[in-house]
Structure 1
Amino acid sequence: MDLLIGLGVGLVLGLALGMLLVQARAASAAATAAALRDQVEVLRAQQQAGARADGEESLVLQALAPVNETLRTMQKTVSDLEQQRHAQHGQLAEQLRHTQATAERSREAAEALASAMSNNAVRGVWGETQLRTLVESAGLLHRVDFDTQATITAESGRRRPDMVLRLPGGKSMAVDAKVPLTAFLESASATGAERDRLLAEHARAVRAHVDALAAKQYWTGLDTSPEFTIAFIPSEPVLAAALEQDPSLLDHAFARRIVLASPVSLWAVIKTVALTWQQQALSDDARQLLVLGKELYGRLALLGERADTLRRSLSRTVESYNAFAGTLESRVLVTARKLDALDESTVIGTPGMVEVEPKALAQPELAPEVEPLTR
């Protein structure tokens, strides 16, 4: 009995628990369904908001499309400029290296030149070469218009100027191409007071060179020469530096019959000499042409005389022929026709008369009155 009561109580409790469980599950399901519905609503709202955002973004993108295209173009331009900058940077670096190498070679060449110019013999050859190049560029010919290293006898003794320019009319002029350069070359690498001291020393060296050149008196050993000597300074800066340090240097040189000439001024002088030679050549040609014209005129006169003599000879020949024809016709043929036994086919025909007279020369140069010139 107690067992049955226990089973009944357990059954009732189980049913109650089952109903409670079912109710709890139903409540949980309802809550889950409500939560799901809320989530669906949230998702739908998010979807709608996303759709609206996408639409607005699409409109913004459409509005910004030109800007986007411009930005892409600018990006491409910037990229191209960057590439060009890299290329130009490489070219500039190469040019800088080339310039540096060239400057280094120039420095070495300058040092070598300065070292060579420290030798007096080298300086002399350099000056003579510059002088000869200058006169040849002006149109003068070696051994025709000028001589180099010609030995002359001056009042100061036997001398050998670097060049003797030949002038029209048998005149000549001496040119010296030596120049002091030691102090000037040293001043190129000096600065400040040391440079000023070297330039002052250079001016004194040029003045001493003028005095030494004046003592040689080259003009006394040349025939019909201007009484001065040209001191050729092969470089404009060399002469300019000396004149800047010693403004009275030109007057000092002129007083001693020395003309300081740079390449520019000497070229002008030599070009004038070349032009004078050309004018002299033209004058000689004109004079020769005049002589030939007079000679030709005289010979034409002689030819006219000979032609008139020939005309008179032809006239005498025509007269002789006409006399012969008249005698044959009026004397010989008359007697010949009387020969009855003569075959008529062999009778000599009647000769014709020559009526053409030789034309006389009418020009006064060819007239017989012109006094004949013996050639």
Structure 2
Amino acid sequence: MDIAATILLVFGALVVGALLGWLGHAQRMAPALRENDLETARLRARAESAAQQIEAAQERAAEQVAEARERAAEQIAAARTEQENARRQFQALAGDALDANSKRFLELAEERLKRSASAGEQALAQREAAVKSLVDPLTKAVELVRAEVLQAEKARIEGQGALVEQMRNVAEVSAELRNGTADLVTALRSSQTRGAWGELQLRKVVESAGMLHRVDFTEQEQVSTEEGVLRPDMVVHLAGGKRVVVDSKVAFLGFLEAQQSDDPAYREQRLDAHVRHMRKHVDDLAGKKYWNQFEPAPEFVVMFVPAEAFLSAALERAPELLEYAAQRNVIIATPTTMLALLRTVAYAWRQEALAENAQKVLSVGKELYARLVTMTGHVTRTGRALETATKSYNQMIGSLERNVLTSARRMVELDVVDERDAVDELKGIEEVPRPITKPELLAADEGGVVAIDRAQEAEGILVQELEVTALAVTDKRALEAAEKAASEGAASPAVDQAG
């Protein structure tokens, strides 16, 4: 209760204080307020006076505007009246002159238009002809260009279609190649598959060199030794009975891991492992010493690497690898070098075949030469027999002409026989056998030694002397004919003497 009373007293005191303060302030501000009221009254009086002046000015301006509008309307009406009068006067004055001038102008214009039209038509015809002479070649050229463009566009479309088809085929082949490569890589991770693949590649290279299985080479030939059974992948037969052992080795995993890695350090590490694998294959082949088991054979073995990239990658890390293998009697060969080696072997086979054929040709030549000598002996004796027979025939003809035909012709002269039955004139044989000039034929006739043709010396074959003894085979018929002719020739003088 006391607190509430206290609060009321305090609040009442504050209200009283506020009223007292406001009253004091109002008393202080009263003069200023009165002055403001006076100033406001003065301003209000001025504003009312200005408004009255403005209103009076507006009324005067409105009156002036109305007057100006009336005067302007009057002036406009007068101007329009004057304009109408002037127009009427002008039309009245210019009508006749305009009609005459228009008629004359139209006549002149029509005449000039006709002349212009005629000249224009001629000029137009000339221009059309000139333009046509210029345009026709251009039109033809444009048509040709258009045809060529259409043809080029057609060819481009066809070429683009073919290119798209080719690219599609390339994409398909690339996809198949990638799939095949992936399958091959997966398969080559197996050691047995790698070995079979290497043997297959080796056989393809050998067959591409033109060599025949079981003739020029044998596969998986097996030999037994004290250390066990040796079975190289291939034995190539050389000329002269020699053989070269070829074994396929595929060092693949290190190379594959190096190619698949993007880390240079890991790549070098796997390439070093690839080199170690190659050296291990070299050491294994060197330890087997195949040349001792397949005699006669050169003292080395060929290690076939089925891909060029395998060897080149190893040589990049170890350039001395080939020398390392050669020191151990191992020759590393890729498909390219293996093909060259096999072509060399094939050349050696051809040379040996040529040598064997040369020996056969020599022996056949000797036999043929001997037979030719025998035959030429017979020919020579036949020629001499013909010569003897010709001489005997000529002697007989001479004797017949001298001793027999003379008496026979006298019988014709004495009309003992008819002239139609007269004996024809006989002629001797003037041709004689060709004389023998070649030493071989003379030797065949006389018996002697004849050398084989010197061309064999140029071929590198030893010249052998072939002793040919001509066989004295008597041609009985020729000798009998010669003896008969000789006996008849000897008898003819006796007939002459008897006549």
> What is the SS of the residue equivalent to 2:446?
coil
Q: For residue 151 of structure 1, what is the amino acid of its counterpart?
A: E
Q: State the match for 1:26 in structure 2.
A: 71
Find 2:289's aligned residue among 217, 225, 242. 217
> Of 368, 375, 382, which residue of structure 2 is paired with 1:310?
382
2:431 is matched by which residue type in structure 1? V
**Counterpart position of 2:219:** 149
Given candidates 408, 413, 435, the residue that maps to 1:360 is 435
Q: What is the rounded CA distance, in whole Å, between the counterparts of 2:224 and 2:174 in structure 1?
A: 48
Q: 1:106-121 alignment to 2 at 5 Å?
A: 107-121=178-192
Once the two structures are TM-superposed, the CA of residue 310 in structure 1 deviates from its matched residue by 0.6
* Distance change >3 Å, CA 352–CA 260, structure 1 → 2: closer
Aligned to 1:229: 301
1:187, 1:198 within 8 Å by CA — same for their partners in 2? Answer: yes
- Percent identical across equivalent pairs? 34
* Deviation for aligned residue 1:173: 1.0
Root-mean-square deviation (Å): 4.5
1:232 deviates by: 0.8
Q: Which residue of 1 is the match for residue 417 of structure 2?
A: 344
Choose between structure 1 and 2 for higher RCO, CA contacts under 8 A separated by at least 6 residues: 1
Q: Which moved more, 1:167-176 or 1:104-113?
A: 104-113
Q: CA deviation at 1:114?
A: 0.9
CA distance in structure 2 between the partners assigned to 1:271 and 1:317 by the alignment: 65
- Report which of the two has the higher share of helix: 2
Q: Does 1:167 align with 2:238?
A: yes
Matches within 5 A, 1:168-207: 168-192=239-263, 193-207=265-279
Once the 2 structures are TM-superposed, how far is the Cα of residue 311 of structure 1 from its aligned partner?
Answer: 0.9
Offset of residue 291 of structure 1 = 4.8
TM-superposition CA deviations, 1:20-60 (whole Å, max 9, x none): 989743335658999xxxxxxxxxxxxxxxxxxxxxxxxxx
Residue type of the alignment partner of 2:281: H
Residue in structure 1 matched with residue 311 of structure 2 by the alignment: 239
Q: Does residue 446 of structure 2 align to residue 369 of structure 1?
A: yes
Greater Cα offset, 105-114 or 289-298: 289-298
3-state SS in 2 of match to 1:113: helix
Residue 211 of structure 2 contacts residue 217 of structure 2 at CA under 8 Å; is this kept in 1? no
Residues 373, 470 of structure 2: 8 Å contact kept: no
Aligned length: 297
Amino acid at match of 1:302: T
The answer to whether the 8 A contact 1:151-1:158 is kept is: no
Greater mean alpha carbon deviation, residues 109-118 or residues 265-274:
265-274
CA contact under 8 A between 2:243 and 2:297: conserved in structure 1? yes
Deviation at 1:342, TM superposition (A): 11
Q: Secondary structure at the match of 2:249?
A: coil
The residue aligned with 1:263 is 335
Query: Which amino acid in the other structure matches residue 215 of structure 1?
Result: G
How far 1:104 moved relative to its partner? 5.9
CA–CA separation in structure 2 for the residues paired with 1:350 and 1:24 = 174
Determine helix, strand or coil for the equivalent of 1:169: helix
CA distance in 2, matches of 1:105, 1:161: 34
* Offset from partner CA, 1:176-212 (integer Å, 9 cap, x none): 1232322322332234444444333333322222233
- Distance in 2 of aligned mates of 1:108 and 1:270: 33
* Map 1:247-326 → 2, pairs under 5 A: 249-284=321-356, 288-322=360-394, 324-325=396-397
Deviation at 1:149, TM superposition (A): 0.9
Aligned-residue offset at 1:350: 6.3
Question: For the residues of structure 1 that align with 2:430 and 2:292, how far apart are their CA atoms?
Answer: 81
TM-score by length of 1: 0.61
CA distance in 1, matches of 2:181, 2:241: 43
C-alpha separation in 2, matches of 1:201 and 1:23: 121
| Higher mean displacement: 172-181 or 273-282 | 273-282
**Structure 2: runs of 5+ lacking an equivalent:** 1-64, 80-160, 449-467, 472-499
Match runs of 1:61-76 below 5 Å: none
Partner residue in 1 for 2:101:
none
Contact 2:446 2:470 (C-alpha < 8 Å) held by counterparts: no
Deviations 1:336-361 (A, max 9, x none): 89999995246766654444332222
Contact between 2:258 and 2:266, CA under 8 Å: does it hold in 1? yes
Work out whether residues 183 and 202 of structure 1, in 8 Å CA contact, stay in contact via their aligned partners in 2. yes
Q: Distance in 1 between matches of 2:69 and 2:408?
A: 194
CA contact (8 A) 1:154 1:217 kept: no
In structure 1, the residue matched to 2:116 is none
Whether contact under 8 Å (2:247, 2:303) holds in the other structure is yes
Distance apart, 1:228 and its partner CA: 0.9
Query: Structure 2 counterpart of 1:181, which letter?
Result: F
Give distance in 1, aligned partners of 2:281 and 2:221. Answer: 20
Checking the alignment, whether the CA contact within 8 Å between 1:152 and 1:221 is kept in structure 2 is no
Contact 1:175–1:229 at 8 Å: present in 2 too? yes
Asked if the contact 1:322–1:354 (Cα under 8 Å) also holds between the matched residues in 2, the reply is yes
Cα distance, 1:334 vs structure 2? 8.2
The verdict on how the C-alpha distance between 1:158 and 1:333 changes in structure 2, with shifts beyond 3 A counting, is farther
